[in-house]
Amino acid sequence: MKTKCGVVLSLAAGAVVWLAVAAAVAADPGGSPFSQERLEGRALANSIIAQRPVEGNSLTGSLKIRPESGKRIEIPIKFQTIVTATNWQNLYLMHDTGNNRAALLTVIHAPPRPNLFVLATIAGTGGETEQVTQLTGNQAMIPFAGSDFWVIDLGLEFFHWPVQRVIKKELLKGMACRVLESSNPKPAPGAYRRVVSWVDTETLGIVKAEAYDANDKLFKTFTPKKFKKVNGRWQLKEMEIRNERADSRTTIAFDLPDD
């Protein structure tokens, strides 16, 4: 079971340079930047964001939106990972055939720099691009394709926030986890104030995550739901994010090949 959850949003292993960690921690505003929980938290967050996929891949799937009321929506989605010499990119292409529109989100990872999010909207039978927007920081806290997934969620941007703390260690779903609290130094109205992630100690996979709003009330819960063994390795088949305030949920399901 450890191997299964280790696949979830986990990128491949990489080293953390201690001096870079110390410099980043020293720059954190407020609190005690050299406390053990802050040092361990910064190192853990850096380990997660430094993970680099070994090779690119391409998958299809669906975005299933269950609103608080009204009709459920299912939208085809394509997912692609591109690995270059200097960065790697995750592409999410959603095509709403009913409205003849599409949205393409590109998440560019080049640690230790924060992620760059590029969101393009496309309309018309000829695939004309209507608008291309670059998003950083709080700007990325907007829904992707009208779903409960925000752009920031798909890039795990909260691990780049300056304040990272390991607040406890506990078992969850039979796995030994370090519980990492990521704090947003300047949350915009309606944005996440902090995100708490249960990180599998062995694989750095995210077993569960909770996002809290400016009033420190639970806003969203992320949970990996299903896995499938492909070529002898467990891969994520389905992940869900639930909006606790709106009582809505969105699932991303991937079409995985048979083993």
Other CB atoms closer than 10 Å to residue 167's CB: what's the count?
13
Measured between alpha carbons, how far is 6 from 257 in angstroms, rounded to an integer?
A: 19
Other CB atoms closer than 10 Å to residue 204's CB: what's the count?
21
**How many helices and strands in the chain, by DSSP H and E?**
4, 13
The string of pLDDT tens digits covering residues 239-256 is 999 999 999 999 998 888
Q: Do residues 76 and 92 lie in contact, with contact meaning Cβ atoms separated by under 8 Å?
A: no
Domain count within the chain: 1
Instruction: Report pTM.
Output: 0.80
Domain that holds residue 187: 2-255
Radius of gyration of the chain (CA): 18
The string of pLDDT tens digits covering residues 2-30 is 444 443 333 333 323 233 333 343 444 44
Q: Do residues 219 and 244 lie in contact, with contact meaning Cβ atoms separated by under 8 Å?
A: yes
The string of pLDDT tens digits covering residues 39-93 is 999 999 999 999 888 888 898 999 999 998 878 989 899 999 999 999 999 999 9
Q: What is the CATH number of the domain that holds 228?
A: 2.50.20.10
